[in-house]
């Protein structure tokens, strides 16, 4: 699990452990945490705090993945999580967005005709695709919007740039600064990636005083508590191909 700062890490770990996010809502007992047979919490999770921005996020994620593999305990899922800016009106303050795509939104060149991304320039790709079924399952469990999350190196601070991003990425839910870096590292290691963002501020004119960070951190923790089960199942070896839980027959099993 990768975050930019320690406050985000603590919120996610509290949620995954099924404990109340500091100042937040205790998760109801039937929803959080792993089921019998799932790995323990939080020992099954390595939390990596990388610092802000895609480069730091890529370096920190790559280092953790490489070390884990060298030590014979490879990871099976990378979760990039934190707060982010929400695109109005899809993602209001305090809501949560699960990435359907993780898009490098300002990796490219400015031209007389506007921004051209590196894929259009012929240099690789500007998007990573989380496993669609898993992203949808996590979004459903968390009560989150499933939508593209943009990665930017510069926080949007004007209405003009917000409108430009929204026009170039219809349906975008959120922007943040680490997802694409984390996803690049995960892709090179062959490990699936998810991104979850809780909205602390609208994408638009800069008003740092209006950021609602504590509320977003609570929403992030609550979302991770609600989605802990599919997240832990996917993080097991063979992730996503889940064994039926005791007492719950596999689909299609005669009763």
Burial 166-204 (b: 16+ CB within 10 A, else e): beebeebbbbbbbbbbbbbbbbebebbbbbbbbbbbbbb
Q: Which residue stretch of 2-10, 91-99, 108-116, 162-170 sits at the interface with ligand LNDFFVEH (rule: CB under 6 A)? A: 2-10
CB of 154 to ligand LNDFFVEH, least distance (A): 8
Q: Which residue stretch of 78-86, 99-107, 112-120, 139-147 sits at the interface with ligand LNDFFVEH (rule: CB under 6 A)? A: 78-86
Alpha-carbon distance of 52 to 7, in angstroms, equals 13
> Is the Cα torsion angle 12, 13, 19, 20 positive or negative in sign?
negative
User: Is residue 5 close enough to count as binding ligand LNDFFVEH by CB under 6 A?
Assistant: yes
User: Is residue 14 close enough to count as binding ligand LNDFFVEH by CB under 6 A?
Assistant: no
User: Is residue 64 close enough to count as binding ligand LNDFFVEH by CB under 6 A?
Assistant: no
User: Is residue 91 close enough to count as binding ligand LNDFFVEH by CB under 6 A?
Assistant: no
Nearer to ligand LNDFFVEH, 47 or 233 (CB): 47
Q: Which residue stretch of 26-34, 63-71, 79-87, 235-243 sits at the interface with ligand LNDFFVEH (rule: CB under 6 A)? A: 79-87
Cβ neighbours for 197, distance < 8 A, ≥ 6 positions apart:
81, 82, 83, 84, 96, 97, 99, 149, 173, 174, 176, 179, 220
Which of the residues 139 through 198 are near ligand LNDFFVEH (CB under 6 A)? 152, 155-156, 175-178
CA torsion, ordered 82, 45, 229, 217, to nearest 10 deg: -20
**95 to 11, 24, 109, 220, 241: CA distances (angstroms):** 15, 14, 32, 9, 29
3-state secondary structure of 127: strand
Count residues near ligand LNDFFVEH (CB under 6 A). Answer: 20
CA 184 to chain centre: 14
User: Is residue 4 close enough to count as binding ligand LNDFFVEH by CB under 6 A?
Assistant: yes
Token pair 């992203």 is found at: 135
Nearer to ligand LNDFFVEH, 5 or 119 (CB): 5
Q: Which of 24, 84, 130, 192 is the binder for ligand LNDFFVEH (CB under 6 A)?
A: 84
Binding site for ligand LNDFFVEH (CB under 6 A): 4-5, 7-8, 52, 82-85, 152, 155-156, 175-178, 200-201, 203, 213
């Amino acid at each position: 699990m990768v975050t930019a700062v320690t406050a985000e890490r603590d919120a996610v770990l509290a949620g995954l452990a099924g404990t109340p996010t500091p100042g937040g809502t205790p998760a109801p007992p039937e929803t959080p945490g792993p089921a019998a047979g799932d790995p323990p919490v939080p020992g099954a999770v390595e939390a990596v705090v990388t610092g802000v921005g895609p480069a730091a996020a890529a370096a920190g994620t790559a280092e953790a993945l490489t070390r884990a593999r060298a030590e014979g305990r490879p990871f099976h899922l990378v979760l990039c999580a934190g707060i982010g800016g929400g695109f109005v009106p899809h993602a209001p303050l305090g809501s949560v967005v699960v990435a359907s795509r993780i898009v490098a939104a300002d990796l490219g060149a400015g031209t007389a005709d506007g921004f051209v991304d590196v894929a259009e320039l012929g240099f690789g790709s500007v998007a990573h695709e989380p496993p669609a079924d898993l992203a949808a399952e996590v979004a459903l469990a968390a009560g989150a919007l499933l939508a593209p999350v943009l990665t930017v190196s510069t926080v949007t601070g004007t209405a003009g740039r917000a409108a430009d991003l929204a026009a170039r990425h219809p349906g975008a839910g959120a922007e943040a600064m680490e997802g694409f870096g984390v996803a690049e590292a995960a892709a090179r290691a062959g490990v699936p990636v998810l991104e979850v963002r809780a909205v602390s501020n609208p994408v638009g004119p800069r008003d740092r005083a209006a950021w609602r960070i504590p509320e977003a951190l609570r929403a992030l923790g609550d979302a991770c508590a609600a989605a802990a089960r599919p997240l832990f199942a996917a993080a097991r070896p063979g992730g996503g191909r889940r064994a039926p839980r005791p007492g719950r027959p596999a689909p299609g099993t005669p009763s």
